[in-house]
Structure 1
């Protein structure tokens, strides 16, 4: 009579490997980690978002969050520095003033490079949420934009058209409004994508080039009349 073979003994399941030890961050690394996550958080939910929810996302306690940022306002100021000051590109300013390059090319190159930072998701959404919430981000950034970008463009536009310099005739508010128009037009491409979910279909660079060409054509027609001395009564 054949003997039956004994069933092999069941193998014991292997123990799951222990998770790697959690890396301790330095104070500077922790602050930067909180800042980066705060940028994503406010871009997602706006400035009505609660810091408790942010701490939950970070996997830390709210008290640890307040160790680095004593209040929400301090955290929002840090987000402004990270997104709008930290990503500022000196090339934007230098190319505008380079009179060795035709103005149309200068403006096109400026706005193509500007778009790489200003039309990103966090830049656009944080800017819009800030305006709706009444935060200072908009006012602080637009003051910098006017001084470093818009007014220099207005000065170069006068030079291009052979009009009086600012030392003879100070810039008029209407001139600045004209330049706001081109800046707003370029920023609208980002609004369409990140706010309205309607991205542009054509090449962004070609659209910026057309926008600059259109702006300059209008400025050549309007600006000399705007700066012409008033006729005597």
Structure 2
């Protein structure tokens, strides 16, 4: 870039000659057209300088807007994901209650089938809520964990059916009270009692779904930071 101060000084000296006096050197420059070229060069360089200044100001404004628009998202900013986590936590709780050994303690050599039945009903409802919300969460990790859960249900569908829980084509569960009442104690225990039962495995996967929801929130925070960095990079190279 030409030195604007030198060009400006020359032009100023031409403009400041008293009594409109122009020396022969200046007159020669004007006559030959070099003065006109100099003027064009001066204003061209000045225009570039102004453009550069405006561009710099624009970058600053854009960076500030980027920071304002990339605030960290929280679960409250993602209602579907928040609901997915809440449903998963509830399923974890109901599965834990259903599988805990205290529920399966026999009195007079009999199970408390009434209490178990209510726990199974609560489990089925919580399970279905997770299945439904998984589709709306927008999280691949949540969907992945949910699929593991539905695949397990499909695998054990015949035994679950004997225990009064039917797996539907929509992957949701339906409670059949009549079949539950006729089910053998051993069938109910194999499906719902203890850590390694069906209910125990669903509890573990529900915990995974809740964790995946939190992980997604962390990803939003990381994405916000990445977006700001990318914006800064692009602005630098404009």
Give the number of the structure whose residues are more often helix, by fraction. 2
Q: Relative contact order: is structure 1 or structure 2 higher (C-alpha 8 Å, sep ≥ 6)?
A: 2
TM-score with structure 1 length normalisation? 0.25
Bigger radius of gyration: 2
